[in-house]
Amino acid sequence: MGLNFRYTAQEVTYMVNNTQASVLVCINEFNNTDYSAFLSGIVDQTPSLKKFLFLGPASFPQGVDLEGLLETVPDQALIERTAAKDLGNRDNFIIHTSGTTGKPKGAVILQRNILAMLRPWVRNLETTMEDVVFCMLPLNHVGGGTILALATLARGAKLVLLDVFDPTKVIDLLRKHKATLFGAVPTVYEILFAARPDISADMFPDVSIVAYGGSPATPETIAAMRGRFGAPVMACYGSTEVSGFCSYTRRNDPPERAVTAGKSGEGVEMKIVHPVDRRDLPLGEIGEIAIRSEMVFDRYLNLPDETAKAFSDDRWFYTGDLASMDKDGYLTIAGRSKEMFINSGFNVYPKEIEDKLVEHPGVSTAAVIGVPHRTKGEVGWAFVLPVPGVEVCEEDLISHCQSAIADYKVPERIFVETDLPISPVGKIIKQELKERALRIRQG
């Protein structure tokens, strides 16, 4: 399980306890955070943690210097016993996504799931040991962890990592290391082009492919990617639950294919079904993407009911994403039936934020939506109903969120309302809130 440096102590505590992690590997200090002090504040709340490995000497009382540990004599018998085991069916990677309760749920990915994703993906990339892959995505999710990092290591190519996104650093590292391939969400490319209008193809003679995924890209962004990096654009689709990418364009596809999400890789069955009754839909109709493959994750950790809802009896996984498929098998993404939105490349789940807002003593009901943003892709806007007789203000509620959730999850705006649009069955009609938000945006 990977953790993001942006997570708050509350989030880290929940994820550690949810997975019952026993060993934590940690850097000493990063981004103005002293992790010895950080862990001292949660160690009593995370009883499963028994070992704390630091990358260098640390002041944390239970901390072990990893460099010193590496100098100890390995237990060869233990290594041989482990190597003899069937590791394919062992849990390999737990990635926290969101559940209906608002608490993140751990998607458990097996070793064989990752290998099943990597084989066709690496072949499609056509990378060699001479390639240099640049990764600017978080390693605790599939974008950075499996799609870029593990795919690069599996091929034996060179991997270059960026710790914190910065447009000038990105350009400098691409040039310094003569990167041949990199990928990001469309928003990142838009931020790059806005921050560095000087980007041009002659700056990157070694780049052979530019990939994107995570959300659809506009034709204008795709054209800019192709023109300003001087390389073909590879469009991709996937998710945490499929261990990475399951659909992508090919290097020799015509340029216009880059506005699609490609077609399924080897070993992937894919179809479009009705979002409600899950019957198969004909080509060209928009419906929910369903996938069946060895690369699909095993389960949601300790959540058998959530796992059962995600799969059919014959192991089709229902993604919650909407798309159409053409006669050649290429997907065109139409949107997300789930309410998740993407802020600066990070997945944001409204339910988690809503539950956090309702924890405030002055809030009775909350609804969070994603609103388009020029540089971040989407940001959260919240609409809340106060507890009768209690006064709350936007500043207090934002401060409340900032103390408990990562910064990219904190709503940009919070509106205190007297009522919210409610459907006949008692659900908040978020589409009306989206329309209201757009009217506010437009002045």
In which domain, by residue range, is 328 found? 91-336
Domain boundary among 84, 119, 146: 84
- pLDDT at res. 215: 78
288 and 435 assigned to the same domain:
no
- pLDDT at res. 119: 96
For residue 2, being part of any structural domain is answered with no
CATH code, 53: 3.40.50.980
- pLDDT at res. 102: 55
Rounded distance between C-alpha atoms, residue 26 and residue 59, angstroms: 13
For residue 435, being part of any structural domain is answered with yes
247 and 112 assigned to the same domain:
yes
pLDDT more than 90, % of the chain: 68
Burial of 337 (0-12, 13-18, 19+ CB in 10 A): middle
- pLDDT at res. 78: 92
Rounded distance between C-alpha atoms, residue 159 and residue 150, angstroms: 9
Rounded distance between C-alpha atoms, residue 277 and residue 273, angstroms: 8
- pLDDT at res. 100: 38
125 and 203 assigned to the same domain:
yes
- Nearest Cα residue to 93 out of 149, 31, 37: 149
CATH code, 143: 3.40.50.12780
Rounded distance between C-alpha atoms, residue 256 and residue 123, angstroms: 22
What domain count does the chain have?
3
226 and 305 assigned to the same domain:
yes
301 and 378 assigned to the same domain:
no
216 and 97 assigned to the same domain:
yes
pLDDT tens for each residue of 288-304 = 999 999 999 999 999 99
388 and 427 assigned to the same domain:
yes
433 and 381 assigned to the same domain:
yes
For residue 361, being part of any structural domain is answered with yes
For residue 363, being part of any structural domain is answered with yes
DSSP letters, 241-296, are GGTEEEEE--TTS-GGGGGS--EE-TTEEEEEE-TTT--B--TT--EEEEEEETTS
Domain boundary among 60, 84, 108: 84
- Nearest Cα residue to 95 out of 151, 146, 35: 146
- Nearest Cα residue to 355 out of 338, 343, 368: 368
- Nearest Cα residue to 231 out of 239, 242, 223: 223
- Helix 350-358 × helix 394-402 angle, to 10°: 110
Q: Which long-range contacts (CB under 8 A, 24 or more apart) does 56-60 make?
A: 56/28, 57/28, 58/26, 58/28, 60/35, 60/36
For residue 4, being part of any structural domain is answered with no
Rounded distance between C-alpha atoms, residue 370 and residue 350, angstroms: 8
Rounded distance between C-alpha atoms, residue 236 and residue 143, angstroms: 11
Reported residue count of the chain is: 443
Q: Are strands 51-54 and 63-65 parallel, antiparallel or unpaired?
A: parallel
The CB density around residue 32, as the number of other CB atoms within 10 Å, is 5
- pLDDT at res. 101: 42
Q: Are strands 341-343 and 244-248 parallel, antiparallel or unpaired?
A: unpaired
Domain boundary among 53, 84, 115: 84
Given its phi and psi angles, is residue 19 left (phi above 0), alpha (psi -120 to 50 degrees) or beta? Answer: alpha
296 and 351 assigned to the same domain:
no
29 and 145 assigned to the same domain:
no
- pLDDT at res. 107: 96
Q: Does 57 have pLDDT greater than 90?
A: no
For residue 1, being part of any structural domain is answered with no
For residue 3, being part of any structural domain is answered with no
pLDDT tens for each residue of 118-174 = 999 999 999 999 999 999 988 998 999 999 999 999 999 999 999 988 999 999 999
**What are residue 300's DSSP bridge partners?**
107
351 and 330 assigned to the same domain:
no
Q: Are strands 263-264 and 341-343 parallel, antiparallel or unpaired?
A: unpaired
Query: Whole-structure pTM over 0.75, yes or no?
Result: yes
pLDDT tens for each residue of 418-436 = 988 886 445 788 889 999 9
248 and 101 assigned to the same domain:
yes
- pLDDT at res. 99: 46
Tokens, residue 360: 């405030």
Rounded distance between C-alpha atoms, residue 117 and residue 122, angstroms: 9
For residue 254, being part of any structural domain is answered with yes
Q: Which of 22-26, 187-191, 395-399 has the lowest mean pLDDT?
A: 187-191
